[in-house]
Each structure stands twice: as structure tokens, then as C-alpha cells.
Amino acid sequence: MDVDQRKQPDRREVPTGPWSALPPAGRRMRARRASEHRLPYFVDRFSPRVFAIVALFVLASVADALLTIRLFEAGGEEVNPLMARLLDRGVVTFFIGKYLLTVIGLPVLLIFGNFFLFGTRFRVKYLLVVLLALYLVLIGYQLCLTLA
């Protein structure tokens, strides 16, 4: 009598391929057990809600850049020293620099999203929502300045 009744071969016998990191290979979207949820952990996939927040974040960054350029051309001033330096080098340099800083920072927030910030109960992924809200407030302020 055969003791091993598994029908499929053991997946651990085949080495992991270079494309296995891409969807739909990963399946872990959250911690499986309550004890795991209390610890920092990585995930393979993200929910559609996280994708929507990231997309809104990138759109808000682009909108902020466009409004900043418009205000700068109308005689306004950039308060952020790094962005002011990029803006002094030209509009295209400013736009590309702002976009690159955004799209480089977002994956870091996503990768470490389930880690706790400075030993508190506040997870890094909550920063996405907080920063998006701040971006929306900033865009509202810029729109008020543009219309005034």
C-alpha cells in the first residue's frame, strides 16, 4: 500500500524560475494567522484598493507638478528646496525629478507596508493614505491660489 497519496509532484524539487516573482505566481496578500499579523511580514500581491491608492497617488503627484509649474510661471515660489532646485534647472527636469521621486518611493512603502513605523502599531502602509490626503489638501490649496 502506497503511504504517499499526493497526486502532484513535490514543487520543491524544481528550482524557482526567474519569472516566478511576477503575478500570478505569488499568492500571499496578508498574514494567514493572527499571530503572524502582529509581526512585520512581506506580501506577494496587493489588493485592488492598494492599486487604486497608488494610482491616485501618482496622479496627485502629476497634478501637483503641473499646478506648481503654473504657479511658478505666474510668479509663485517653490518652498521645497529640492524641488526649487529642480525647477531652476527647467520645467522638464522638475517634472521628471518629481515623478521619479514619487515612483521610486512608492515601491518602498509598498514592500515594507506591513512593517510597523518606529516601533508603534502604525503600519507603514497607512502612510500611503495619509500622504495621499495631504497631497489632495495641497492640490486644493494650489487650485485656490491658481483661481485667485
pLDDT digits (tens, 9 = 90+) for 68-118: 999 999 998 999 999 999 999 999 999 999 999 999 999 888 888 888 888
**Contact in structure between 118 and 107 (CB atoms under 8 Å):** no
Cα 7 from Cα 54, distance rounded (Å) = 41
The residue among 139 and 48 whose pLDDT is bigger is: 139
Which is more confident, 88 or 26? 88
- Of 115, 113, 94, 95, nearest to 105 by C-alpha is 113
Query: Rounded to two decimals, what is the model's pTM?
Result: 0.73
Q: Where are the alpha helices (DSSP H) in 26-90?
A: 34-37, 48-73, 81-89
Distance (Å, rounded) from C-alpha 82 to C-alpha 92?
15
Report the pLDDT value the prediction gives residue 140, as an integer from 0 to 100: 96
In angstroms, rounded to a whole number, what is the distance separating the alpha carbons of residues 72 and 131? 23
- Encode pLDDT of 28-43 as tens digits: 666 667 777 677 777 7
Each domain of the chain, given as residue ranges in start order, spans 46-147
User: Cis (ω within 30 of 0) for the bond into 24?
Assistant: yes
